[in-house]
């Protein structure tokens, strides 16, 4: 999912951890059909969301505020659209991984120091209220 993120060393780990899940199977199915133009579009969408979140963080916005939760809702929907159904509570689990797994944290921290924590907090706030315009 991450540009420049060589997924191959982690394929076996992902298969062992999540291979039995419908989300993993769906993600594998969808991603297998993507060509370079699809990946470029997904990366552009993801990068725009991450730039917005970094800007909000730098501006001192509350991660539980409307602007941040709307941005992370777009992030959740990006995952939902490109990879697998991602309800707010599943997104919350992913948000936790963004701060506890150094590989994810490094991705966000390269964009802006503290961004992994900000994104995680915004995801938690969004999930707790079901996400703007989402259903629980």
pLDDT digits (tens, 9 = 90+) for 13-50: 666 766 677 888 888 889 889 999 999 999 999 999 99
Number of domains present in the structure of the chain = 1
Does residue 10 belong to any structural domain of this protein? no
Does pTM surpass 0.75? yes
End-to-end CA distance of the chain: 26
Residue 2 lies in a domain: no
Domain that holds residue 54: 36-128
Q: How many other C-beta atoms can be found within 10 angstroms of the C-beta atom of residue 49?
A: 19
On whether residue 16 sits in a domain, the answer given is: no
Specify the CATH number for the domain of residue 102: 1.10.490.50
Alpha-helical runs (H) found in the chain: 11-18, 22-32, 36-58, 66-82, 88-100, 102-111, 115-128
Mean pLDDT, contiguous 10-residue spans, the chain (136 residues) = 47 66 85 92 96 98 97 96 93 95 94 97 93 49
Give the integer Cα–Cα distance in Å for 131 and 64: 11
């Amino acid at each position: 999912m991450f540009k420049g993120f060589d997924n191959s060393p982690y394929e076996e780990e992902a298969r062992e951890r999540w291979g039995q899940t419908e989300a993993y199977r769906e993600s594998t199915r969808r991603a297998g059909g993507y060509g370079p133009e699809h990946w470029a579009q997904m990366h552009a969408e993801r990068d725009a969301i991450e730039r917005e979140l970094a800007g909000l963080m730098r501006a001192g916005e509350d991660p539980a505020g409307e602007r941040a939760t709307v941005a992370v809702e777009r992030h959740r929907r990006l995952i939902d659209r490109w990879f697998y159904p991602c309800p707010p509570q599943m997104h919350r689990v992913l948000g936790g991984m963004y701060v506890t797994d150094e590989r994810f944290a490094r991705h966000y921290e390269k964009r802006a120091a503290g961004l992994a924590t900000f994104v995680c907090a915004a995801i938690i706030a969004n999930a707790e209220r079901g996400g703007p315009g989402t259903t629980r």
